[in-house]
A and B are shown apart, each in its own frame.
Chain A
C-alpha cells in the first residue's frame, strides 16, 4: 500500500510518515503543491493525505485537478482549518474524508484504513484477526462461528482497536472517535474504563483470540494472543 503525504509542516509530516510506516505502508512525501503534482503524475497511490494550506497554493486546487484527471486515489484532507465550509468544500470536491488538526495518530490510522478498505475491498468488507471476524457491511463481529452481541458503541470501539492492531490507542483518541465531542470532560476516563470492561467481558466469554490490554495512564492496545 502506498501513501502520499502532502504537508508543508516538516514535523507534522515526519510524525505521520513514522507512524504510517510502522503500519507497513510505503510512505512518500511532498511539501508543496508543485512537488505533489510531479509525484502524482508519475506514481499512483492508494491514499493521499492532503493539507489545505500549502506554501505555493491551496490543497483544494490540487484536489480539483486530481478529480479532473479522474485519478482514483483515496484522498483525506488534513487541515488546521476546522470549519464546516472547508469540510463541505473538500468533500464536495471529491475527498473521501476530512481530518482536522490536531488529531490522534490512531484516528489518522483508522481513517486511512477505512478509505483503503472502501477503495480496495469492494464487496468483501471483512477484517480478520485471529479468530475474530469484523463484518463492516453488517456491522457485526464474530468469534469463529459465534456472533458477538455488541451494541453500536461497542462495535465502534472494537473496530477502532482492530484498525489500530498492536498500536497503543490513547484513551481520548478512543473517546473522541466513538463518542465525538460529547465526552471530553470530567470522569470520562472512568467511563471509558467501564465501557472497555464490558467489551472485554464479551470477548472473553466468546473465547476470543485477541485481548485488549491496558497501558497504564495512556490507554489500550489490541493484541493477538
Chain B
C-alpha cells in the first residue's frame, strides 16, 4: 500500500470512530435538551390545567383526550399520597395520521378541594424522529466530505510536498551500481528531505567510487600480473629445453608451468570480467544467435566428439539481439563449454533457440547446483579439475550488461536459459 493511501485509510478509520462517538454524544445531548423543553412545556401545561380546574370544576371529569391534550380522573387518597410525577414516552393514535405516533406523557396528581385527581398531559414529539434522521444524514455527509477532502489534500498537497521523496524513490528503484548512473535529487524546502537527499547522495557517491576503484583495482592488478607471468612461464619453457635435466626435474618444472598457466587463465578471466564491468566493449551490432551457435558448434566439434557428445540445435525462430559480438561469442561459448565440460560422456547437449530465448541443457549425474551461487565467481565444482569457476560468472556479467536474464534450473538436466527483453521498435 502506498504511503499516501496508508495515511488516508488511517484517517478514515479514526474519523469513523471519532465521528461515531461524537454523533452519539451529540445525539444524546440534543435529546436531553428536547426532553427538557418538552417536559417544561408539560409542566407549564399542568399548572394551567390545575389553575383552570379551580375555576371550572367541569374539566375535572375529562376522562379521555378527545378534545384536548389532557385527562383528569379522581383517584383515592391512598394512591395519591404514594404517587410521584412521571414523564415518559408513549404511543397514541393520531386521527390525522391514522397511525400511532410517539407522544410525551406527564402523569401527575393534584388536590382540588378535598379530592385527589390524576392528571395526564401529552404533547406530540413527532419532530424528534426527523431530528435523528437529520442528524444521521448530516453525519454521513460530514464523514464523506472529510474523507474526500483528505484524499484530495493527499493527492494535491501531500503529493507536492512528498514529491522530492517520491522522485528519489523512483530513481533508487531503477538504480544499479554496475550501470554507472547518477541520482538526481529534487531540492526541497523541507529539512528532512534535504537531509535524506544529501545523505543518499553521499552514500551513493561513496558506493559508486569504491565500486569503481574496486573494479579499477582488479583490472590494474590483473594487468600488472601479465608481464611477470609471461616472464616466469617463458623462463620455465627455456629451462625445460635444457638437455641436462632429468625426468624428475622436468616433471617438477611441468607442474610449476601448469600452475602458472592456470594462474594466467584465471588472470585473463578476471581481466575480461573487469573489462566488461568497466564498459570497455562499446561497439554493438545486431548479432544473430542462430548463426553464432553454428560457428561455435564447429569450434567445439573436436572437444564434443572427444567426449562422444552430440550437440543438437533446434532453431524455432531467428534470434537477433544488439550487443557486442565478441561478448556474445564469449557468452555462448562459455555456456557451451560449461555444458561439454560438465556433461556426461556420450550424452546429448540440447540447444533450443526461439525469438526471445536461448536454452542450453546437458545431462550430468551431479545433481542440482546451488542456484544462488552458480553465477558467483570462483564457485568451483570440485569434480572437474582445472575449472576455475569463473566462466559462468563471466556469462552472467555479459548477460546482465545487456539486460538479458540468465537463469539456471535443474529438472533431471542442467538447464541454462537466456531470456531476452522485448525490444520496442
Interface on A for B, CB 8 Å cutoff? 9, 11-12, 15-16, 18-19, 22, 80-84, 101-106, 153, 167-168, 170, 172, 179-188, 190-191, 194-195, 215-218
Judged by a CB distance under 8 angstroms, whether B156 is at the interface is: no
| Cβ-defined contact, B233 with A216, below 8 A | no
When distances are taken between beta carbons in the complex, the residues of chain A under 8 Å from B268 are 82
Q: Which listed residue (A80, A83, A183, A191) contacts B275, Cβ 8 A?
A: A83
| Cβ-defined contact, B231 with A218, below 8 A | no
When distances are taken between beta carbons in the complex, the residues of chain B under 8 Å from A80 are 223, 226-227, 230
| Cβ-defined contact, A102 with B237, below 8 A | no
| Cβ-defined contact, B235 with A101, below 8 A | no
| Cβ-defined contact, A172 with B238, below 8 A | no
Q: Which listed residue (A9, A12, A217) contacts B250, Cβ 8 A?
A: A217
**Could you mark each residue 188-230 of chain B with 1 if its beta carbon is under 8 Å from any beta carbon of chain A, else 0?**
0000000000000000000000000000000000010011011
Main secondary structure of the interface of B (DSSP, over half): helix
Q: Which listed residue (A15, A22, A191, A215) contacts B303, Cβ 8 A?
A: A191
When distances are taken between beta carbons in the complex, the residues of chain B under 8 Å from A18 are 238
Q: Which listed residue (B226, B231, B253) contacts A15, Cβ 8 A?
A: B231
Q: How far is the CB of A222 from chain B (nearest CB, A)?
A: 13
| Cβ-defined contact, B234 with A215, below 8 A | no
Bound: A83/B326 CA distance, A: 11
Judged by a CB distance under 8 angstroms, whether B47 is at the interface is: no
Q: Which listed residue (B275, B302, B326) contacts A195, Cβ 8 A?
A: B302
| Cβ-defined contact, B231 with A104, below 8 A | no
Closest chain A residue, CB of each to CB of B229: A102
| Cβ-defined contact, A15 with B386, below 8 A | no
| Cβ-defined contact, A167 with B241, below 8 A | yes
Bound: A60/B268 CA distance, A: 23
Bound: A172/B337 CA distance, A: 17
Judged by a CB distance under 8 angstroms, whether B115 is at the interface is: no
**Sample of 10 further A-B pairs with CB below 8 A, known A12-B230, A185-B337:** A80-B226, A82-B226, A102-B227, A102-B229, A105-B234, A170-B257, A172-B258, A179-B303, A186-B385, A195-B302
Bound: A179/B227 CA distance, A: 23
Q: How far is the CB of A182 from chain B (nearest CB, A)?
A: 5
* With A104-B233, A180-B299: A185-B226 Cβ-Cβ less than 8 Å: no
Q: How far is the CB of B241 from chain A (nearest CB, A)?
A: 5
Judged by a CB distance under 8 angstroms, whether B384 is at the interface is: yes
* With A11-B231, A80-B223, A216-B250: A185-B280 Cβ-Cβ less than 8 Å: no
Bound: A102/B280 CA distance, A: 21
When distances are taken between beta carbons in the complex, the residues of chain B under 8 Å from A82 are 226, 268, 271
Q: How far is the CB of A187 from chain B (nearest CB, A)?
A: 8
Q: Which listed residue (B255, B258, B275, B306) contacts A194, Cβ 8 A?
A: B306
12 pairs, A vs B, C-beta closer than 8 Å: A18-B238, A19-B237, A80-B230, A81-B223, A83-B275, A168-B237, A182-B337, A195-B306, A216-B250, A218-B250, A218-B253, A218-B254
